[in-house]
Chains A and B, each alone.
Chain A
Amino acid sequence: MNILHLVHRYWPSHGGAEKSFQLLSRSFAAAGHDVTVYTTNALDFRYFWDRTAGHLPPGEELVEGVRVVRHPVRYLPFHKAPDSWPARLPLDAAQGWLAHSPWLPSLIAASGRSRPSFDIVHASSLPVNAIIRAGCRIARRAGIPLIISPHVHSGERCAPGGLLGLYTAPVQLEMLRRADAVIAKTGGEAELLEAHGVAGERITVAPNGLDLDEMGGGDGERFRRRFGIPGPMVLHLAHKSVLKGSRDTVEAMKVLWRNGSDARLVLAGFTEQGFGAWVRGVDPAFRRRIVDLESPDEQLKKDALAAQDIFVLPSRADSFGYVFLESWYYEKPVIGAMAGGIPAVIDDGRDGLLVPCGHPQVLAEYIDKLLRDPALREHLGLAGRRKLDRQFDWNRIVFPQYQELYERLTTERRG
């Protein structure tokens, strides 16, 4: 099979969608298929509107048996970094629309040229519409099946609105409705898509998976020695922003610190500007107890995962929460938020705990409880690991679902 994957960023970029497409492409290539990935040269998400942010050289390369074509991100006139005009509009949604959907002339040209025929196209993810639009165009021109993984970040169940608007604009829904298959990460996302008019029979629920063979090798001791963390350690590994619950995490730790806790907080990931400014304003007495790592590499990430006592991600903006699986691999307890796809991943009270967004006091109390109760930590961590082996093992459980879907769609189309 000749497979085309389109995704807004690809390895070595970090992120849930990026990780799942890396696994998908690599596995199909290893299974003997020809896999091409069209992506952008952005390393940081901010590169889509800020040309000073991290990026890679554009061009073509072979990564783990996969042909990766990185199309250069171009900027519209007057789109000057760092004060880009979309980012200056007073509308979050407009920022999302304009800033998240980059201008990719070479991808547009590539999608219009006649190519060696692909058999199937799989595109991801919203709200980066330009990528999905290119996928739609290629599939339509070649008459081949199109799969879309939208990765809808539905936000809080009780407060739909703002965030969902980034993923459910009419033009986006139209693209989803025209796809041969739409992949939802959780049952909740599937219901949401169906409620927005995507035909139920075209939606496939396929969770993210973790390649257990590549997750090992984290050295917790090394991490603790390097950063001088003798006592309890709380890890928050995410794109650091208010939406990901980074601020709630710091606020919760401040409650603990005021009550005499000696726990350290490790914040690891790319820092969003607004959050960076806020965290600089935190009382220096508290700031000293925060270890702030900017975009850690794979090994440092594994070390941090192995070193932590509790993993905390009270995020409003996750369609799945890949990092929970990574924490479970190291048998660590996790705390997530009652928002987006997280409740479908964490079974509240059985393999992790869920907290409401925007209530740092509850988060502080749960962290405090777990720090004081090693037995509960171990119980939740082990339950998580068992769930990971049973439901989210990429090679054994998840990848075969994708193989079956690809084969079914190509066979149907040929038939």
Chain B
Amino acid sequence: MRPRVVTIILNWNGQEHLGCCLDSLLLTTYPNHHILLVDNASTDGSVQFVRDRYPGVEVVVNDGNFGFARGNNVGFRHALKSGADYVMLLNADTEVEPDWLDRLMEVMAADPNVGICGSKIMMFSQRGLISSFGHGMNLLGFAWDAFVGRIDGPRWQEVREVVSVCGAALLIRREALEAAGLFDPMYFAYYEDVDLALRVRMCGYTVKVAPGSIVYHKYSAFFERRPLTKILLSKRNYFLFVLKFFPLRKIPWVFTRIMGREWELLSENLRSGHYTYCRMRIRAILATLFRLPRIFLSRLRNRKRIPSSFWGLLEQRVDVPVNFGQELDYNPFDRPEGGRYPHRVIMGVSDGHLGMGWYNLDGEDGGRFRWIGRSAVCRLGVPEGEGLTLQVHVNCPYALVNVPRLSVFGNGRNLGSVPVLDSWQTHHFPVPRNGDTDCEVRFEVDAVFEAELTHCIMDLGIMVHEISLLDCLSPFLRRPLPADPLPAIYREGGRLPTSLTPGELRAGIRVTSHPERMYAHAEIPIEVELENLGDTVWLANPLPGGGHVALGLKLFDTEGKLVREAFPRFYLGRNLFPGQSDRVFISIPPLHCHGQFRLKIDLVDEYIAWFENRGSEPCDLPIELQ
């Protein structure tokens, strides 16, 4: 007899999704399988619908909307009482493949140390795209659905150990559940799955994803109606999670960074007029403060269980293989309205018909570019006229880590490849005319999947802004300007150290202009000339985990006593290589104090060191504030 599996489906006014989900579940090939529907007091007739149409499904009705965590806990208790060996959590807005449970059970049976096993969750409407392949997490405790938006391929066909898995499709061993406990009801929804996975890990089990088990998920179907609630809950629960699990000595470090980021986002929202988001952010912080006593009790209970191994888990590097296969499995394109493909794709303007492989992080730069992780395709119309050239406009912000090569294929034929540097560049590829009216263009990027630099477990990719197929007389055919000569970092096989892993940090800092009279309640505009005198490349773009170089200020009185150091950072305009210099124009916010002071201007390798501490000479500017 195979072990007994109870699948819990939590429902709240989701009748429209239930039919599809339960129909597919009934086709499950695993023999000892029992379905339990837990209803959070739906008012749309879901319960009656299931009782009428699926008599084999057991139904438990809660008194109210208990949320994801408490609602599922009811199901957990019920399942354990009914003698389940394994409990499966499945969202109602999903559809499963018939063998999904067999594949999960294979992983569980093969290794008794696996406490939780997740399915490979795919997008419901675009079934070739991954919705979640486990969770990724960074050192700040922020968790996300790993590889969301990627084309499914050979890379995601191996069983892999992950930090945690998405609660939309999660199988847990009975012993692990009994040892770790149920979901923490404090969360209501979001982050409870990460919380449970970490507790299971603390009990000595591992967490894996079974790639053969496929579940199609309608992303955020339940919170579609209330997206702001989703933001509030996920933000609040993130804070709660950090406070609950992080080692005490790390919490100040983490929260300084989290709050710095929150402040940036809040200011951004204020500036752009998204006041509702601001309200949600502030509410999330207040809600967290309100729950602090409960967190304190929880920490007391778990104090022996929060070992430094949790920190080690986050710090572990995830090595992602780069030698995965070439073949893509995507559907043919739908022709756009009018039956003819455009000659040009401008991201954010005419990218409606793009094929698979493109993705855009939420609201990034107003959608003016799309990312390619590994491979992407699009189809363009062939213009009439003489000659044919493919013009692409690309950039790779990670080129300092690893300069990727972009290979371009037109109707399967290799058109050439170019290195993609860390600035926007236009490249041209001649395309042979062979009478076709349209051309499938495929982009392949090699070796951009570098696992993490800044302790963020993330994928690297290249940014694409324009793809155009142009005849030789087209006004859009731009002659690419000769690029700046390649810096040594690209030219030689060996690389210079960057500010991520700095070598010598030494700078020449000189104030080239400042106002003659400075006022206590007015901004002070200053022009500073910087010269890189060390051997390290200064990275200019702010990185989430630090490692970029910025200009920082400290204010001292005439006796050398520190008066103020809480100044904003001023970013460099571009990466500075050894020997290069640049000018930075900074505007110091009003200091609101009178008298004579010394303003110390120095560079800081963010989260690593002030240049002064590495032996570099800062710039001292005597000022008098009126």
Contact = CB atoms under 8 A, between A and B. Distances in A.
**Chains A and B come from one and the same complex:** yes
A277 B587 CA distance: 9
B346 A92 contact: no
A380 B475 CA distance: 9
Contact of B273 (A92, A255, A259, A338): A92
Contact of A353 (B366, B475, B587): B475
B144 to A, nearest CB: 23
Interface stretch (A27-35, A98-106, A210-218, A278-286): A278-286
B596 interface: no
A117 to B, nearest CB: 40
Interface in A215-268: 255-256, 258-259
B482 A365 contact: no
Contact of B271 (A92, A357, A380): A92
A281 B585 contact: yes
Interface size class on chain B is 35 or more
A58 to B, nearest CB: 30
B465 interface: yes
Contacts of B466: 356, 362
B425 interface: yes
Given A92-B273, A281-B527, A356-B348, A361 B426 contact: yes
Interface stretch (A59-67, A156-164, A196-204): A156-164
A92 B272 contact: yes
A369 interface: yes
Contacts of A325: none
Given A283-B583, A356-B368, A372 B273 contact: no
A361 to B, nearest CB: 4
B393 A362 contact: yes
A368 B349 CA distance: 24
B481 A364 contact: yes
B426 A362 contact: yes
A99 to B, nearest CB: 14
A321 B274 CA distance: 28
A277 B479 CA distance: 33
B482 A369 contact: no
Given A90-B267, A259-B481, A156 B348 contact: yes
B426 A365 contact: yes
A156 B272 contact: no
A297 interface: no
Contacts of A272: none
B348 A372 contact: no
Contacts of A296: none
Contacts of A380: 475
A379 to B, nearest CB: 8
A372 B274 contact: no
B523 to A, nearest CB: 9
Nearest to A359: B424
Nearest to B522: A83
Interface in A118-167: 156-159, 161-162, 165-166
B580 interface: no
Contact of B583 (A256, A281, A361): A281
A361 B425 contact: yes
A90 B426 contact: no
A85 interface: no
B396 to A, nearest CB: 14
Contacts of A281: 527, 583-585
A362 B270 CA distance: 31
A368 B368 contact: no
Interface in B488-534: 521-522, 525, 527
A405 interface: no
A356 B346 contact: yes
A372 B475 CA distance: 12
A108 B349 CA distance: 43
A263 B274 CA distance: 41
Interface string A323-358: 000000000000000100000000011000100111
B480 A91 contact: no
Contacts of B527: 280-281
B327 interface: no
B368 A162 contact: no
A157 B368 contact: no
Contacts of B272: 92, 161-162, 165
Interface residues of A, number: 40
Nearest to A349: B475
Interface in B345-404: 346-349, 365-368, 393
A366 B348 CA distance: 20
A258 B582 CA distance: 14
A356 B273 contact: no
Contacts of A92: 271-273
A255 B481 contact: yes
Interface centre among A258, A348, A361, A369 (most CB of B within 10 A): A361
Interface in B583-605: 583-585, 587
A93 interface: yes
A81 interface: no
Contacts of A348: 476
B52 interface: no
A376 interface: yes
Contacts of A356: 346, 348-349, 368, 465-466
A81 B271 CA distance: 22
B113 interface: no
A181 B417 CA distance: 56
A311 to B, nearest CB: 15
A277 B524 CA distance: 11
Interface string B420-446: 000111100000000000000000000
B476 A368 contact: no
A369 B367 contact: no
B381 to A, nearest CB: 14
Contacts of A349: 474-476
Interface string A70-87: 000000000000010000
A91 B269 CA distance: 9
Interface string A356-398: 1111011011101100100010001000000000000000000
B423 A161 contact: no
A259 B393 CA distance: 19
B585 A277 contact: yes
With most chain A CB atoms within 10 A of its CB, the pick from B346, B474, B482 is B346
In the A-B complex, list the 10 residue pairs whose CB atoms are closest, starting with the nearest: A159-B366, A281-B585, A158-B348, A165-B273, A365-B478, A162-B272, A93-B273, A361-B424, A158-B367, A349-B475
Interface of B: 267, 270-274, 346-349, 365-368, 393, 423-426, 465-466, 474-482, 484, 521-522, 525, 527, 583-585, 587
Given A362-B393, A368-B478, 14 more contacts: A90-B267, A159-B368, A162-B273, A277-B525, A277-B585, A277-B587, A280-B525, A283-B583, A349-B476, A361-B425, A362-B426, A364-B481, A365-B479, A369-B478
19 contacts: A90-B270, A91-B270, A93-B271, A156-B348, A161-B273, A161-B366, A165-B272, A165-B273, A277-B525, A277-B585, A277-B587, A281-B527, A358-B365, A359-B393, A359-B465, A361-B393, A362-B424, A362-B466, A369-B477
